[in-house]
Amino acid sequence: MSAPLVVVAKNSAEHKRWQYVQWAYVAGFVLLTPLVLQPFEIGKMNRALIMGVAILAVNLVVGFNGMLALGHSAFMGIGAFVTASLVQDENWDYWMIVPVVLIVGFLIGVVVGLPALRVKGLYLALVTIAQAAVFPSLVNIDELGIAARTGGPNGKGVSEEVIAPSYWEWLPGVDGARGGSAYRYWVIVLMVAITILLVTNYLRSRAGRAVLAIRDNEAGAAVYGVNLPIVKTMNFAISASIGSLAGLMWCMDKGFVAGQDFTFLLAVDLIIGLVLGGVGAIQGGLVGGLFVVWVNDLTKRISIPLGLYTLNGDGPLAKAIFGLILILFTFFAPGGIVSLGRIIVNKLIKVVPLTPAGQPIEPLSNFDPGMESTRADVAMKMSIAGPVLLAVGWLLMNVNNLLVGVLAFGLRMGILVLAPVAMLVGSNELAAHADGNRPDSAKGPATMARTLGALGFLFVIGYAVQRFVLTY
């Protein structure tokens, strides 16, 4: 394995710089989404984020606790119907419903989880899939006023669309013409952020460690005093309440819920998103949600003539692609996109952890190849490749073909990574040269990488700011 391009000590100035770049990208992505996308595309993004929360809920049970519970579509449905009924029939505000949905989801999670978690492995998969399969017909029951509350087979609409109150109109994207979806986007982003924060803290807590211990070795955890039924059920209930929250967001975003939205197929979408994103990775949910929604959207636009026969994306093709993706990922990337991303990041940067005394546990020079280093050359090539790819992507943009379009988009995005990495590596190599660890021949490429990389990065930031200012 080749040495990573940058080696930094944890929490060092260079490491912080690297993290600032990451956060700048996250912030840029979040800020620009409602500004540059069409309203219907913002709707898709909302759906992706909602799916992301639901997949995070599944992940909490499957990925972090090792329990094969695959029926979270039902919890989403419960959250959605409770919300629809309270808004429409009782005139509640959404923010008042949030705690109600969380509690209802939690209680139902306890009721389902207590018996269900007595069985393990594939049996649990069966029970939870049964739960997903039966939910759509449960909302049609006439007794107990259920059908009246849920709208039965007709579904239930929420008559008032969620739009921004006047004092929130300064939010990016929220203005008169398309305020609705952009405003809901901001509400959903806020809820996603809070959920991820809480889940991260939960997993780091005492309870969270017990959850992970059960996944890694159930008998072992029991021997060390973990109360298996309680920890499993609590975790399942927390997961169910997060799933219900996703349902609330669904109802708020679409303004309409029906049993047919929460079938077994939604449960399958959640599994696909989980595997695609990354089982056992917090970010996996969001990544998976984005991919499930956008891959679905892209396949719908496919139309490839094959002799007598035209492969059309608006039919059932998306399912075949998802099936194929599931199989391919299971075989070749069981850790999902997140693990693939980590492989790339590990090639770029190595963060050396610190001892309690604050020193790197290994001297950074262990990773420094010294005089024979070719990092400056690599960085220089990256700094050149960024603008070149950008230009090529720009040219290809005008070709009217879906695949070329996706490729062009990918090429243009290349500079996002290439420019800052070239800049960081360039300055690192210059510092190494100043210390006498690099030959003089490396100075030229390193300087060029730093300069060109910095220019590229400035361009990216400038472009983003310009888009922001122009559209805001």
81-84 — which CB contacts under 8 Å span 24+ positions? 81/139, 81/149, 81/150, 81/156, 81/247, 81/251, 81/257, 82/244, 82/247, 82/248, 83/247, 83/248, 83/251, 83/252, 83/257, 84/150, 84/151, 84/156, 84/157, 84/158, 84/251, 84/256, 84/257
> 106 vs 322, which CB is nearer to another protein?
322
> 319 vs 350, which CB is nearer to another protein?
319
Nearest to 299 by CA among 285, 320, 309, 313: 313
Q: Which stretches of the chain bind another protein, using CB under 8 A?
A: 62, 68, 70, 115-116, 118-119, 121-123, 125-127, 129-130, 133-134, 137-138, 140-143, 219, 268, 271, 275, 279, 306-309, 311, 315-320, 322-327, 329-331, 334
**Nearest approach, Cβ of 152 to another protein (angstroms)?**
9
- DSSP annotation string for 308-340: TEEEETTSTHHHHHHHHHHHHHHHH-TTHHHHH
**Nearest approach, Cβ of 254 to another protein (angstroms)?**
24
Whole-number Å distance between alpha carbons of 409 and 407: 5
Under DSSP, the state recorded for 4 is P
**Nearest approach, Cβ of 258 to another protein (angstroms)?**
14
Both tokens of residue 123?
A: 């049996």
**Nearest approach, Cβ of 150 to another protein (angstroms)?**
13
> 46 vs 59, which CB is nearer to another protein?
59
> 142 vs 435, which CB is nearer to another protein?
142
> 7 vs 60, which CB is nearer to another protein?
60
Sequence-ordered strand ranges (E) for 237-297: 256-257
Residue 153's identity, in one-letter code, is P
Strand-pair category, 309-312 with 156-157 = unpaired
**Nearest approach, Cβ of 273 to another protein (angstroms)?**
12
């910095």: which residue's tokens?
454
**Nearest approach, Cβ of 119 to another protein (angstroms)?**
5
> 62 vs 158, which CB is nearer to another protein?
62
**Nearest approach, Cβ of 123 to another protein (angstroms)?**
6
**Nearest approach, Cβ of 267 to another protein (angstroms)?**
10
Nearest to 192 by CA among 85, 72, 269, 282: 282
> 125 vs 423, which CB is nearer to another protein?
125
**Nearest approach, Cβ of 77 to another protein (angstroms)?**
15
> Exposed, middle or buried, 437 (CB in 10 Å: 0-12/13-18/19+)?
middle
> 186 vs 329, which CB is nearer to another protein?
329
Q: Which helix (H) or strand (E) holds 350?
A: strand 349-352
Both tokens of residue 456?
A: 């590229």
Q: Which helix (H) or strand (E) holds 38?
A: none
Whole-number Å distance between alpha carbons of 213 and 29: 35
**Sign of the Cα pseudo-torsion (106, 111, 112, 115, in order):** positive
Whole-number Å distance between alpha carbons of 128 and 109: 11
**Nearest approach, Cβ of 82 to another protein (angstroms)?**
20
Whole-number Å distance between alpha carbons of 388 and 422: 14
**Nearest approach, Cβ of 333 to another protein (angstroms)?**
12
Nearest to 278 by CA among 269, 266, 287: 287
Both tokens of residue 90?
A: 């009782």
